[in-house]
Amino acid sequence: MQKHNQKEHLYKLLVIGDLGVGKTSIIKRYVHQNFSPHYRATIGVDFALKVLNWDAETVVRLQLWDIAGQERFGNMTRVYYREAMGAFIVFDVTRPATFEAVTKWKEDLDSKLILPNGKPVPAVLLANKCDQGIDVLMNNGIKMDQFCKENGFVGWFETSAKENININEASRCLVKHIIASESDPVQAVEPDIIKPHLNSSKIVSCSACFKS
Amino acid sequence: EYEEKTGRAQRPLSPKQNVRKNLDFEPLSTTALILEDRPANLPAKPAEEAQKHRQQYEEMVVQAKKRELKEAQKRKKQLEERCKLEDSIGNAVLTWNNEILPNWETMCCSRKVRELWWQGIPPSVRGKVWSLAIGNELNITHELYDICLARAKEKWRSLSTGGAEVECEDAGFSAADREASLELIKLDISRTFPSLCIFQQGGPYHDTLHSILGAYTCYRPDVGYVQGMSFIAAVLILNLDTADAFIAFSNLLNKPCQMAFFRVDHGLMLTYFAAFEVFFEENLPKLFAHFKKNNLTPDIYLIDWIFTLYSKSLPLDLACRVWDVFCRDGEEFLFRTALGILKLFEDILTKMDFIHIAQFLTKLPEDLPSEEFFTSIAAIQMQSRNKKWAQVLAALQKDNREMEKGSPSLKR
């Protein structure tokens, strides 16, 4: 109630990933604390707002942009990346193709969105539908850690919107990294995973751009 | 001792008083109100109290009777209204069947028909009217539908046995094909009107919806399957036989506005949004300024509305009425409907910030009042400085073409 000394942060977060991986369900679970197996497909973009009492002095308002997953909409929906502060990239553990698309989503995100300090926006990988028992990761946590390192994710979580597993945790992880990158814009805090060589590979692709 | 007695005697009063207070919510039947004397083993009520209770009882009965009478009148009125509505629908069905449909070409544009059309087409003739109004410019026959469906089924079979060969075969459209894969359509079918429970796996129209979407990807592999299509096909299936639904579906998607959206022709979509904004500013200048101030661009809400022709965002009965007039007036009615929605909620929207407007418009209230809604649409003028929708759109398209000639970079 001590509103006068409370800081308020407003963050725009993207929720992206292939069609039908459960983006809308995750948001519904996170914001409305419920689940239905019958969500309608998202066309374009849907919105949700989540308010977090981060700590005694900080209120965090998360503006969630639930972006349609079909590849075809890419041209149309990439304008929605603008000014986002973080992203969840979601795949469906029961459909290997949706995991293969993760790198594509990440590259797409990084190519269209860079923080003022030149770094990519913090992104958390969500392996959704982990309640289904059909797991393409085959509990291979080490490989996933490696994958996240290589692809510049600040973390990953096995989630289930249906069983409410790890969604709050994933969000806290993302918000933590956003706050950290904000409070130290020049030299972002030691991230969980990001490796220096990621940036060098970026430079390579940039110089390639200049050439063409 | 006396005090104790009177104290006990007075106690039953308080629940009665409660009953009286809550009477407004009591069951409306007088049979629930029976005044009984105290059981014989208890001391009798003092005369004064008994008199008071009798009086209260009578008041209650009178109130209850009054309410019952009122309810009965209300029910009677509702029944009369329903009969009237059914009569008018019945009459409308007769008019459509006997007068309009047999003389479609000559009558469809008459003032009388257009007015009747605005009232909503009766469900029993809706499919026929939609078919006629959408037309069949593409000359699709039932046989062509069967051929496309057979091809789709063949493709699905080979995809489920091993996809590699198929991809090589159709190298030209491999990307579109992959998108049009069985899996994508399957995923979306179960997410089409989930609350109706008729398009889901095992539901009566699951296979029909699957067939139409599959056949379309074979008919137009360059367009393929795009999200939103499943909703359009579903609404058509609810009103037409399968092959006729396919014909209407293909012809509907072939209209310029639908083609622009479903092929995701971004430049042309932006032109449509720009034209929409011209009429937005003209009709609702205050709200327009508020949206501008909040950076709320029309794509945020229009994409969903236009792609699904409102079938996802409006209650189905209202969506069908929008389709009715869309069939009559063409694409401009889609944008007029959008303005009608904005007008209907103008007061609330003006008080909201970006995220709340965006949330509101991408998930409209489920209990939209239909008459107010259509009154609101009717109040929208599709004229801007004496220019009609088509003229505004054409002018913007011309500007765009000239700009593209001038500089190769994309607008926006």
pLDDT tens per residue across span A23-33: 999 999 999 99
Question: How far is it, in rounded angstroms, from Cα B232 to Cα B236?
Answer: 6
Distance to chain B for A184, nearest Cα, Å:
27
Distance to chain A for B362, nearest Cα, Å:
6
Distance to chain B for A153, nearest Cα, Å:
27
- Residue A191 belongs to a domain: no
- Average pLDDT on B245-256 reads 98
Output DSSP code: residue B39: P
Nearest to B362 among A46, A71, A72 (CB): A46
Position B327 scores a pLDDT of 96
Predicted confidence (pLDDT) at residue A124 exceeds the cutoff of 90:
yes
Strands (E), chain A: 7-17, 45-55, 58-67, 86-92, 123-128, 155-158
Helix (H), strand (E) at residue A120: none
CB contact under 8 A, A38 and B195: yes
Predicted confidence (pLDDT) at residue A194 exceeds the cutoff of 60:
no
- Residue A188 belongs to a domain: no
Position B29 scores a pLDDT of 56
Predicted confidence (pLDDT) at residue B31 exceeds the cutoff of 90:
no
CB contact under 8 A, B362 and A45: yes
**Residue listed under structure tokens 């689940």:** A35
Q: Give the residue from B45, B41, B59, B47 showing the smallest Cα distance to B13.
A: B45
Q: Which of A11, A12, A19, A47 to mutate to test the interface with B (most CBs of B within 10 A)?
A: A47
Q: B8 vs B13, B45, B54, CA distance in Å?
A: 10, 11, 19
- As for how many domains chain A has, the answer is 1
Indicate yes or no: pTM above 0.90.
Answer: no
CATH number of the domain bearing residue A26:
3.40.50.300
CB contact under 8 A, A70 and B362: no
* Domain span holding position A116: 7-183
Worst-scoring range by mean pLDDT, A60-64, B103-107, B171-175, B389-393?
B171-175
- Average pLDDT on A135-142 reads 64
CB contact under 8 A, A68 and B299: no
ipTM of the complex: 0.81
Q: CA geometry: angle at A16 spanning A28 and B184, to 5°?
A: 90
Worst-scoring range by mean pLDDT, A81-95, A116-130, A135-149?
A135-149
CB-based contact, B299 to chain A, within 8 Å: yes
Helix (H), strand (E) at residue B189: helix B182-189
pLDDT tens per residue across span B316-367: 999 999 999 999 999 999 999 999 999 999 999 999 999 999 999 999 999 9
Residues 153-172 of B with CB under 8 A from A: none
Question: How far is it, in rounded angstroms, from Cα A151 to Cα A123?
Answer: 10
Predicted confidence (pLDDT) at residue B412 exceeds the cutoff of 90:
no
Between residues A167 and B166, the one the model is more confident about: A167
pLDDT band at B43 (very low <50, low <70, confident <90, very high): confident
**Helices vs. strands in chain A: H and E counts, helices first:** 7, 6
- Average pLDDT on B149-171 reads 67
- Residue A189 belongs to a domain: no
- Residue A99 belongs to a domain: yes
Position B164 scores a pLDDT of 46
- Average pLDDT on A14-19 reads 95
- Residue A27 belongs to a domain: yes
Residues pairing with A58 in the sheet: A7, A55
Burial profile A32-53: b = 16 or more Cβ within 10 angstroms, e = fewer: eeebeeebbbbbbbbbbebebe
Q: Which domains does chain B have, with CATH numbers?
A: 55-119 (1.10.10.750), 138-161+173-253 (1.10.8.270), 259-405 (1.10.472.80)
